[in-house]
């Protein structure tokens, strides 16, 4: 006779919100590391002798291994071995990649014979850029895998509860990393005499703390799984539910909704994350201000997003309207990028730049807050990890090529006008896909417009 457990761990608000904090902090540290060199682009070009094309190649390297298939493997690992193993593995990959990148741009490395050999071929890419890109590739594997892993963790711990709010708060905390690094990186760099290495080392140390967080989470999650097993509740983490098969991936690829969501995701994020890489330099050039001031200005990008995302999560949990929010967010992004292309260069005012940046942050609240909690509504829980990873895989294809394209366009056109038009065009296509998503939801009744909390 199965022993019934009166209260599960995730029934305790303290336990489930502790899990949220543990995993969200790791993504906060990861977002800091991703953009640590963005506010230092002028220093990177001067100290490391990278041009815009090299910087674009470096930025794209974060996604190369994911595009080559790692994220597909990561999804299988996540569904076969569970969130605990995947979480520690991906956190370890981030720490390893950060260490390689740190070594690659160090003065010591530049004097080694290996650096001389790296610099002897493909001479357009300095040895430091090649080594940094290798580290960023490995880090990117861990970062993207952890992003999908966190989504599945929250879907598991907040099932039938405040799922959209939890995912929204996680995204808000992660985005705080962008705000923090835009301020902290220039301060640390200045304190160490214009060093690029010092901010990188600081963010790498934070990733080590994030790894410890996931070890603590693993202990909690194991206990939770024991409770689920004792209660006779289906649980993918200990293999008690229907076994995952590689053939299940076919069900994902055959899903029309999966492709709409995946393509919407890649188009939307291709207009956000690559823009973040160049935003500081764009403001520096357009407004004719110092790089540190430009970085502080752009640091406001996630502020309104962080404030709005939890409230949007509450709205989605209690009211719904997820598909409609995707449409509104896409329209806002189109308007902002067109203003960056036409209006800001004509009226280079700091207040106008700040207004556009903050409004773009509203879009960055609406779309992700609605997008990620919608995936469990269209994909079976057994293959949810693979679905998230495959969406990230499609997204990474765009994120891999777009930074390189933007870097090349900026260098060939000697400005940011054409790149901003490219970003706006991505928004237009994302809006069309959001219309298709809402139409499909009306036809099939997935419940994307319905609230998440079950009454």
Query: What does residue 289 show for φ and ψ, rounded to 5 degrees?
Result: -125, 170
Q: Does 241 score more than 50 pLDDT?
A: no
Task: Domain 14-444: give its CATH superfamily.
Answer: MFS general substrate transporter like domains (1.20.1250.20)
* Rounded distance between C-alpha atoms, residue 262 and residue 260, angstroms: 6
Identify the band that residue 43 occupies on the pLDDT scale cut at 50, 70 and 90: confident
Give the model's pLDDT for residue 199.
Answer: 94
Q: What is the pLDDT of residues 86-104, one digit of tens each?
A: 899 999 999 999 999 999 9
Tell me: pLDDT of 4 over 60: no
Nearest to 391, CA basis, from 66, 174, 57, 35: 66
Sign of CA dihedral 427, 430, 432, 438: negative
Q: What is the pTM of this model?
A: 0.74
**Residue 240 confidence (pLDDT):** 39
Of 310 and 236, the structure prediction assigns the larger pLDDT to 310
Using pLDDT thresholds of 50, 70 and 90, give the confidence band for residue 234: low
Cβ neighbours around 49 below 10 Å, total: 11
Q: Map tokens 């110092």 to a residue.
A: 290
Average pLDDT over residues 352-367: 90
122 φ/ψ angles, rounded to the nearest 5 degrees: 45, 65
Q: In terms of pLDDT, which residue wins out, 439 or 321?
A: 439
CA 152/CA 169 separation, integer angstroms: 15
Both tokens assigned to 130:
């090649």
Is the pLDDT at 173 greater than 70? The verdict is yes
For residues 286-297, average pLDDT = 88
Question: Is residue 239 pLDDT above 50, yes or no?
Answer: no
- Region for 239 from its dihedrals, namely left if φ exceeds 0, alpha if ψ lies in -120 to 50, beta otherwise: left
Residues in the chain: 455
pLDDT for residue 161: 79
* Region of residue 343 (left: phi > 0; alpha: psi -120 to 50; beta: else): alpha
Q: Say yes or no to pLDDT of 386 above 80.
A: no
Whole-number Å distance between alpha carbons of 121 and 142: 28
């Amino acid at each position: 006779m199965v022993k019934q457990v009166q209260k599960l761990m995730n029934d305790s608000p303290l336990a489930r919100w502790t899990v949220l904090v543990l995993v969200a902090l790791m993504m906060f540290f990861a977002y800091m590391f991703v953009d640590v060199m963005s506010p230092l682009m002028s220093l990177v070009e001067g100290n490391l002798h990278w041009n815009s094309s090299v910087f674009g190649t470096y930025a794209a390297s974060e996604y190369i291994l994911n595009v080559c298939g790692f994220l597909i493997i990561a999804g299988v690992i996540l569904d076969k071995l569970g969130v605990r193993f995947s979480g520690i593995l991906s956190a370890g990959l981030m720490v390893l990649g950060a260490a390689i990148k740190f070594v690659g741009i160090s003065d010591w490395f530049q004097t080694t014979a290996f650096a001389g050999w790296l610099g002897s071929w493909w001479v357009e890419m300095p040895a430091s850029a090649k080594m940094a890109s290798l580290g960023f590739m490995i880090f990117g594997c861990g970062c993207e895998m952890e992003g999908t892993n966190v989504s599945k963790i929250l879907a598991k711990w907040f099932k039938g509860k405040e799922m959209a709010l939890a995912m929204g708060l996680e995204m808000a905390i992660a985005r705080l990393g962008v705000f923090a690094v835009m301020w902290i990186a220039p301060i640390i760099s200045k304190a160490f005499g214009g060093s690029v290495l010092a901010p990188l080392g600081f963010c790498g140390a934070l990733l080590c703390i994030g790894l410890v967080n996931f070890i603590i989470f693993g202990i909690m999650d194991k206990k939770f799984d024991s409770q689920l097993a004792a209660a006779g509740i289906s649980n993918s983490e200990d293999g008690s539910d229907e076994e995952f098969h590689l053939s299940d991936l076919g069900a994902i690829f055959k899903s029309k909704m999966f492709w709409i969501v995946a393509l919407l995701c890649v188009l939307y994020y291709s207009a956000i994350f690559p823009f973040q890489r160049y935003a500081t330099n764009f403001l520096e050039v357009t407004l004719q201000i110092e790089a540190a001031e430009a970085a502080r200005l752009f640091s406001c990008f996630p502020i309104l997003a962080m404030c709005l995302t939890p409230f949007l999560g509450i709205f989605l949990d209690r009211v719904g309207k997820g598909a409609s929010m995707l449409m509104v967010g896409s329209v806002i992004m189109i308007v902002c990028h067109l203003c960056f292309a036409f209006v800001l260069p004509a009226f280079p005012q700091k207040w106008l730049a700040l207004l556009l940046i903050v409004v773009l942050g509203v879009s960055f609240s609406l779309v992700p807050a609605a997008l990620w909690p919608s995936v469990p509504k269209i994909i079976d829980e057994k293959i949810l990890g693979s679905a998230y990873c495959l969406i990230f895989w499609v997204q990474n294809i765009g994120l891999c090529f777009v930074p390189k394209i933007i870097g090349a366009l900026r260098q060939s056109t000697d400005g940011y006008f054409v790149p901003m038009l490219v970003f706006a065009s991505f928004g237009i296509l994302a809006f069309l896909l959001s219309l298709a998503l809402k139409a499909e939801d009306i036809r099939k009744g997935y419940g994307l417009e319905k609230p998440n909390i079950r009454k």
